[in-house]
Amino acid sequence: MADVLSPALQDRPAPDKVPDVHISIRNVEKVYRSQRGSVVALENVSLDVAKGEFVSILGPSGCGKSTLLKCIAGLEPLSGGEIFVGRQRVAEPPKDLGVVFQRDILFDWRTTLDNVLVTVEFLGLKRRDYEARARSLLATYGLAGYENRYPWELSGGQRQRVAICRAMVHDPQFLLMDEPFGALDALTRDELNLELQNRWFADRKTIIFITHGISEAVFLSDRVIVMGRNPGRIIADVKIDLPRPRGVAVRDTAAFTAYTGRLRAIMDDANAGITHAGVLS
Amino acid sequence: MSDKVRDRLSGLAWVLAIFVAIAVVWEAAVKFFGVPLFILPPIEDVITELFSSPALFLRNAAFTVATAMGGFAIAVIVGILLSVMIVSSRLLERIFMTLLAVIHSIPKVALAPLFVIWLGTGFEPKLAIAAMMAVLVVVVDTVAGMRSVDPEMLNLARVTHASPLAILLKIRFPAALPQIFAAMKAAISLSVVGAIVGEYVGGQSGLGYVIIVAQGSFDTPRAFAAVLLLSIIATALFYTVVWAESLFIPWHVSQRPRPAG
Ligand SMILES: Nc1ncnc2c1ncn2[C@@H]1O[C@H](COP(=O)(O)OP(=O)(O)OP(=O)(O)O)[C@@H](O)[C@H]1O
Ligand SMILES: [Mg+2]
């Protein structure tokens, strides 16, 4: 299996011909235009994610990870290419989706529990049916006893965990997570990685997970995508062949460290590429 | 809780202290410069006047309070409804913002006599003037508040397919509440001014009317008594809004316990 992709993957079958493809990203371009000029955030990005697959995206800051996530979520219009979720071409946010944004964006006027349940309210579902689930999610994420606190009474990491619960409370088939564990200490992060992995292993949702943590990406994923910047593009697609379910001990195996080493090398090259480009221009 | 109570008590103490300070300066000025009675009466004359005809003052004060509060309520309700329309449509924004700017540029005092012609000398014209004085500030602040919602919050709403009504009631409105309360603090004072202007130009009730009549007979103590009462009323109304603010937006930065120092 080649790690480095050919520049374009055209002539692939339509998603309805391949039953297990959940998300199909095809030759996506994204250009942000403003008075001060335009930024090419994504150039010719193509990626298929199978139903029930866990895919992580690694890449330097500013390479377009969040942009790609917003494009998949139907929040940003594409400048080129197309994205399918299931058989549906994404023009507006797809159904049955949960999103953890990079910023927690909690509502200051709602308590922790009400912040989690806002998803349910917006979806037009009954709060009553989801309150127990919301409470148990909060407990899983170490927030039992914080249900009636306001967001400004929480730490940055606690706020982020509330945002995760909010994205999961309606049990979506498809999750987009933008650095959900970014503001956590190493220990809590390990714990939540384990919890996320077990949960995913149990119900096999499709997850696209953005992170800066190489070891986290390897631990959680079936595949790790590496992006480069200027312009934002996919530079590597690494399949992680480690047995599931994975325990904390997997991190000490040779196979694991081989993956992290390889990914680190790819990312170093990507960063070096930036430097050269900067010198040349 | 004790912190909040202490905060509020010290707020009240400040108001009282400032009233007392003004009284002292006033009294000293009258005594020291020998100001004639019809220009500036000593404060005890004003207070004596206040208690000499309590029924008159109470009746007229009640009328002014009713006008100011009614006008304020209309301004807030109409102002928020207009803001919702303005935020939801570019066309409506053009129409209403232009209209409001034009209306606001006309001095309300100049319009007051016309309102008497249109609506008579009763309660209604005064209510209309009070409301008109206050509505623009409510619209301007509420629109600004609803517009300054974090775009990521709206992304969250889009991802969960929130209805426009849910976005309005559960995001835009609560997000704008701090600005709405700021506007209400300005609006309550403006509607008191509007009520008095209305009472100046027509009718036979209200503290404004008491002042005009007292002026006609050079009864300076009575005019001062009315002004004193008015300032107490305006201050009380203002602090009522402040109190409502702490009740409705306990989550806002301005309402959280402040660090000492
Ligand atoms: N709304 C926007 N308007 C204009 N340019 C934008 C906008 N959002 C992002 N960009 C630009 O697009 C590029 C990619 O941004 P993006 O947020 O996707 O990066 P990222 O990979 O998520 O970075 P990080 O790891 O720091 O979160 C950056 O150069 C950024 O300046
Ligand atoms: Mg990002």
Over residues A206-233, the pLDDT tens digits come to 999 999 999 999 999 999 999 998 889 9
- Hey, is B144 helix, strand or coil? helix
Has residue B51 got a pLDDT over 70? yes
Does any domain span residue A210?
no
Does any domain span residue A49?
no
Binned at pLDDT 50, 70 and 90, residue A19 comes out as: low
For domain B39-255, say whether CATH 1.10.3720.10 is its number.
yes
| Sign of the dihedral defined by the CA atoms of residues B223, B224, B225, B226, in that order | positive
Q: Quick one: pLDDT at residue A278?
A: 37
Measured in whole angstroms, the distance separating CA A101 from the mean position of its chain's CA atoms is: 9
Closest CA to B80 of B14, B135, B133: B135
Percent of chain B surpassing pLDDT 70: 97
> What one-letter code names the amino acid at A104?
D
Binned at pLDDT 50, 70 and 90, residue A161 comes out as: very high
Residues of B with Cβ-Cβ distance to A74 under 8 angstroms: 158-159
Binned at pLDDT 50, 70 and 90, residue A14 comes out as: low
How high is the mean pLDDT of chain A? 89
Cα–Cα distance for residue pair A134/A170, rounded to 1 Å = 9
Unique residue bearing structure tokens 């989706």: A97
Counting the structural domains of chain A, the total is 1
| A93, A105, A152: residue with CB nearest B153 | A105
Q: Is B177 on the interface with A (CB under 8 A)?
A: yes
Cα–Cα distance for residue pair A142/A109, rounded to 1 Å = 22
The verdict on a CB contact (< 8 Å) between B152 and A121 is: no
Has residue A10 got a pLDDT over 90? no
* Residues 6+ positions from A112 with CB-CB distance below 8 Å: A138, A143, A146, A147, A148, A149, A150, A151, A154, A162
Has residue B2 got a pLDDT over 70? no
The verdict on a CB contact (< 8 Å) between A105 and B177 is: no
CA dihedral B32, B37, B40, B41 (to 10 degrees): 90
Q: Is A248 on the interface with B (CB under 8 A)?
A: no
Q: Quick one: pLDDT at residue B259?
A: 62
Q: What is the mean pLDDT of residues A38-54?
A: 94
Does any domain span residue A244?
no
In testing the pocket of ligand 1, which one of A34, A40, A65 has its CB within 8 Å of the most ligand atoms?
A65
Q: What is the mean pLDDT of residues A241-268?
A: 92
Cα–Cα distance for residue pair A62/B16, rounded to 1 Å = 57
Does any domain span residue A150?
yes
Q: Is B174 on the interface with A (CB under 8 A)?
A: yes
Percent of chain A surpassing pLDDT 90: 73
What ipTM goes with this model?
Answer: 0.86
Q: Evaluate whether B185 touches B238 at the Cβ level (below 8 Å).
A: yes
Q: What is the CA radius of gyration of chain B?
A: 22
The residue among A273 and B116 whose pLDDT is bigger is B116
The residue among A236 and B251 whose pLDDT is bigger is A236
* Residues 6+ positions from A192 with CB-CB distance below 8 Å: A141, A161, A181, A184
At B141, give phi and psi (nearest 5°): -70, -40
Residue A93 DSSP one-character state: P
Does any domain span residue A167?
yes
- Hey, is B234 helix, strand or coil? helix
Q: Which atom of ligand 1 is nearest to the CA of A67?
A: 18
| B152, B157, B251: residue with CB nearest A150 | B251
Residues in chain A: 281
Cα–Cα distance for residue pair A70/A78, rounded to 1 Å = 10
Contact pairs from chain A to chain B, CB under 8 Å:
54
Q: Evaluate whether B147 touches B93 at the Cβ level (below 8 Å).
A: no
Q: Give the range of the structural domain holding residue A143, as residue numbers without chain letter.
A: 97-172
Chain B neighbours among A 116-175 (CB < 8 Å)? Answer: 118-119, 121-124, 150, 152
What is the H or E stretch that residue A224 is in? strand A223-228
Binned at pLDDT 50, 70 and 90, residue A276 comes out as: very low
Measured in whole angstroms, the distance separating CA A196 from the mean position of its chain's CA atoms is: 13
Lowest mean pLDDT among A48-52, A123-127, A163-167, B38-42: B38-42
Has residue A18 got a pLDDT over 80? no
Residues of A with Cβ-Cβ distance to B176 under 8 angstroms: none
Tokens of B210: 């008491």
Q: Specify which residues A143 forms β-bridges with.
A: none
| A73, A122, A150: residue with CB nearest B157 | A122
- Hey, is A136 helix, strand or coil? helix
Q: Do β-strands A80-85 and A21-34 pair in parallel, antiparallel, or remain unpaired?
A: antiparallel
Binned at pLDDT 50, 70 and 90, residue A6 comes out as: very low
**pTM of this structure:** 0.84
pLDDT in tens, B98-118: 888 888 788 878 888 888 888
Domain residues of chain B, as ranges? 1-35, 39-255
Does any domain span residue A38?
no
Closest-CA residue in chain B for A73? B159
